[in-house]
Structure 1
Amino acid sequence: MTYSIIGSGNVGSALARQFARSGIAVGVANARGPDSIEALEKEFAGYVTAQSLQDAVRADVVILAIPFAAHEAVARAGAPWTGRIVVDAMNTYGVPPEALRGQPSSLVVASAFGGAHVVKSLNQLPAKLLASDPVEHGGRRVMFLAGDDGRAVGVVAKLVGDLGFAPIALGTLAGVGTLLDKGGALILQNLVKQG
């Protein structure tokens, strides 16, 4: 299984740190090109590889850690998406409500990434907390997931667990997606699962 993170800002870098800490190889790309990711690649040598966007979108699991408005350009760059897994780790702060057309943001993302299995996750914590050790007070920091394809949710849940978090699948994108959107009840919740 190959993984990539699209985006090298606060969230993308925090996720790259967790991959490296867990000994899992990941490619990282952004709109500025691989040269702009050299420092991150050097810091986590052996685990983080700077990639072009064209290479990163070919991974089995592609994690979107970009501003919401950029997701359509990434979708076009990687088409066709049939059968691949896209993790929506984006938030919609600053996105006008009409851009979401009254839907959870992940349904908008799923429509852009036709044929992909979209799973909403890795967006609930501030970047600084996301980058820190997920083990806290004898338990593991919770990471929620939502998705419409059981296999894809299982793949992402395993990844989330391998990164050190406690994965909790909530349901479908339409059913629970708004809980994981801007202002949703589960955003910015630092919950720890014991045991």
Structure 2
Amino acid sequence: MSIGIIGSGALGASVARVLAKNGISATIANSRGPASLAGLVEELGSSIKAGTVAEAASADIVLAAIRWTDAEAVLSALPAWNGRIVIDGTNPVAFLDPNSDDANDPSNPLAAYGIKAIDLAGKDSSAVLSSYVAGARVVKAFNHLDVNVLAEPQVAGGKRVLFYSGDDLAAKADVRALIEAMGFYPVDLGSLAVGGPLASLPFGALAAQNFIKV
């Protein structure tokens, strides 16, 4: 199956590095165009190529590795998904300007981390994102760990646990196979409605939990 990555920030680049390390091909894209990714693809070798957002989105499995505040504009502008898999790697948070009032808001428990939670009026973030990718089969994954640890799927004699959830069994099986091929230990949290909130930053019970399967 072909793999696309939309977003070349910390998450997108980290996933691309793990894919490259395991010889798994992928197309990575960002809003600035393929030329801006020349350094990254040179670093990663021939298995990772730069493309346009539309090219990355045409893959069989597409990782949405973009900020929540950009998700609707980026994903809603793409052509029909026609049953392809979208991995929701997003979290419903906004990154704060360190000089803004929000960054010094005493009522925001996340201000010290440079983020604030986005109010979705009680909706699950994956349900909201699914509305941006109508016709896609959405699987939540790659969002609950600090991106700095994603570079090491195998550590301390075991495999790092990666949670995933979704409503389509075949799509989940394909994502599970990808997670395993990357060297992680996949753990199925069930449906999007159950697993999504459990693993979503900033308040999910399993968010930022760094488990190792030994």
TM-score by length of 2: 0.86
- Percent pairwise identity: 42
Count of residue correspondences: 192
- Map 1:149-160 onto structure 2 (within 5 A): 149-160=168-179
Q: Deviations over 1:136-171 (max 9, x none)?
A: 121100000010000001100000000000001111
Contact 1:53 1:77 in 2 (8 A): no
- 5+ residue gaps, structure 2: 95-115
CA distance in 2, matches of 1:151, 1:114: 18
- Report the secondary structure of 1:176's partner residue: helix
**Which residue does 1:45 correspond to in 2?**
45
Counterpart in 1 of 2:139?
119
CA distance in 2, matches of 1:188, 1:166: 15
SS in structure 2 at match of 1:78: coil
SS in 1 for 2:93: coil
Q: Within 5 Å, give how 1:1-195 maps onto structure 2.
A: 1-94=1-94, 97-98=118-119, 100-131=120-151, 133-182=152-201, 183-194=203-214
4+ residue runs of structure 1 moved beyond 3 angstroms? 95-98
Shift of 1:101: 3.1
Aligned-partner residue type, residue 141 of structure 1: R
TM-score, length-scaled by structure 1: 0.94
Give 1:71 shift: 1.6
Structure 1: any 5+ residue segments left out of the alignment?
none
**Partner of 2:31: helix, strand, or coil?**
coil
Q: Distance in 1 between matches of 2:36 and 2:128?
A: 29
**SS of structure 1 residue aligned to 2:82:** coil
- CA offset at residue 72 of structure 1? 1.7
